[in-house]
Structure 1
Amino acid sequence: MTDHRASFDASIAFSNGGDLTVHGFRVDVPGPGATEAEIAALFVASLGLLMTDTVELANVRIFAEPHKGTRGGPSDRAGAPPHDSGDALVELNHLPQEGGTYLEAPNGDLPALTLPRTVDLPAVVIRVTGAERRSVDVGSLAAFDVRGCAVLLHTGVREGHCLTGAAAAWLVEHEAALVGTDADGLDDGARDERPARRILLGAGVPVVERLTGLEDLPPTGALFTAAPPRLTGVARVPVRAYARVRVRR
């Protein structure tokens, strides 16, 4: 099923005084027939705005685009209750003949990487596909609760979008359990310095590179696994990466 998002201008008045105006704001919507009232409610929920009095929308446009994970939106599955409708498994690794998918362990110590650090981690998918900026900075991450999660960068490209050192430090500070990307590497391949990889691995956060299939995951709610073999003397190894996605019926 195709995802849809809405773009709009909005003016908000607050019951305790003050106002807020935005232009070209975007939210995930349930479908192409979303009403202005539904879009206004999603806008308020996405920003966590309190004491909202009135919301006026203009220049509303609904279009097909993958959901980004609007808080309170149709793909926000954070805190979803358990259910017994079954799970779908989504392959996230390249085949060996395609170059494979790799995990790098902190300190090059794979045996020290316990299963809870790589198995059934709550996944947060950060979509930066189509972004004009080549760097993924803190602003792309700050809206998400990443504590204890596998943070997966969906860039849609093999090269180009890289994680900044400041963003890597933010992920460490906010206790991300693992960081992955569908690009060949987290850092700019044209430079010798690799600040994101250095910061994450130095803080004990494993890194997974060359993922695929991230477009098939919801922004939140999936469980990510990329368990490496327990080999000594090896820092970077190929892994079978996949995600468990709750199926709603």
Structure 2
Amino acid sequence: MMTMSTYRARFDATVTFTNGGGLQAQGFFVDVPSPDVTPGEVGTLFLDSLGLLMAGDVVLDKLEIVEAAHKGTRGGPAAAGTPIGGRPEYVELSHVIRDRMVTLPNLPGPELGKHLTREASREIYAPGTEFDIGRISMVTNTGTYLDSPFHRYRDGHDLTGYTLERTIDLPAVVVRVEDSGRLTIDAVTLTPYEVEGKAVLLHTGDDARFGTAQYVEDAHFLTRDGAEWLIERGAVLVGIDAANIDDMTDGTRPAHSLLLGAGVAIVEHLTNLAQVPPLGATFTATAPRIEGLGTFPVRAFATIR
């Protein structure tokens, strides 16, 4: 898939207000539509991103345009979503499941084998006709997977409890935290985003370490107050491209407990979120309807129309 370059402006700013007073910002970033954006346009985007009222003059200093993924700043080029037209693009967001792969170091990898080989099938079928029937043995927490409430709660619904409406073509919002300098994703981080009825995809960049011992080290996670904020504001699904949606040193698993307790679906071990725009895409992650299981691998993808 061809991905168009996106750009952000980095600058210092001084704002004076028409009713008195002023504001200074250092090293501020906003999304911009192109590398040719003017200082005046950047100044307008800066004011829109903060929702500042009665702003007068805006003076920019150290303005630099850098190629970087959009964060979805308010008033920026992603605010109106992705333009509609032409054939949809699809972004693969799930890891490939391979024999003996490592998802998490404390879980066994899947074992792939054959129930019926092509060679053996020749004894069963007519000449020139052959089939391959494979088999797989794995824990359900393998690759990219969907959690249902039964994963955490005995009386929660299992995978069969998810209707198609809850896991297909959900409007998505991507929260980019890979360069935040913090491992925590809290309520303050989430405050700028409109999440009601949406799949909230937490882009940490940790997927670059998937399959290595470093994947579980210094992993990003959603905090308790972040989970509470998402529930209160009506998110329907939360995905993350890290080793766990929770802090793995906290045995109470507050994000799992709160989200699944509220019926909010969780998808862990996503990948390629850098290719998904902050707004305008939809998210799909469906698992087989298996009775009695709380978790299972999914084919997760984003649709960009």
Q: TM-score, normalised by structure 1?
A: 0.92
Shift of 1:139: 1.8
Name the SS of the counterpart of 2:182 in structure 1. coil
Question: Over the residues paired in the alignment, what is the CA RMSD in angstroms?
Answer: 1.7
Q: Does 1:38 align with 2:41?
A: yes
Name the SS of the counterpart of 1:96 in structure 2. coil
The one of 234, 248, 251 aligned to 1:189: 248
Match in the other structure for 2:129: none
Q: Does 1:209 align with 2:268?
A: yes
Q: Does 1:55 align with 2:58?
A: yes
Name the SS of the counterpart of 1:10 in structure 2. strand
Match in the other structure for 2:162: 113
Match in the other structure for 1:91: 92
The one of 15, 22, 28 aligned to 2:25: 22
Distance 1:240 1:232 in 2: 19
229-238 or 14-23, larger mean C-alpha shift: 14-23
Q: Does 1:136 align with 2:182?
A: no
Match in the other structure for 1:66: 69
Distance 2:51 2:22 in 1: 15
Distance 2:80 2:37 in 1: 19
Shift of 1:22: 1.7
15-24 or 48-57, larger mean C-alpha shift: 15-24
Deviations 1:82-136 (A, max 9, x none): x442211111111111542100012242222222111110111011112221111
Distance 2:28 2:290 in 1: 48
How many residues get paired?
A: 244
Match in the other structure for 1:148: 197
Q: Does 1:200 align with 2:259?
A: yes
Deviations 1:195-248 (A, max 9, x none): 1111100111010001111111000110001122222110001111111102xx
Deviations 1:34-77 (A, max 9, x none): 22111101101111222322211122222222111112212333
Q: Does 1:104 align with 2:105?
A: no
Name the SS of the counterpart of 2:281 in structure 1. strand
Percent identity at matched positions?
49
Match in the other structure for 1:230: 289
The amino acid that maps onto 1:105 is S
The one of 224, 243, 249 aligned to 2:302: 243
- Checking the alignment, whether the CA contact within 8 Å between 1:108 and 1:236 is kept in structure 2 is no
Q: Gaps spanning 5+ residues in structure 1: where?
A: none
Q: Does 1:9 align with 2:68?
A: no
Q: TM-score, normalised by structure 2?
A: 0.76
The amino acid that maps onto 1:219 is P
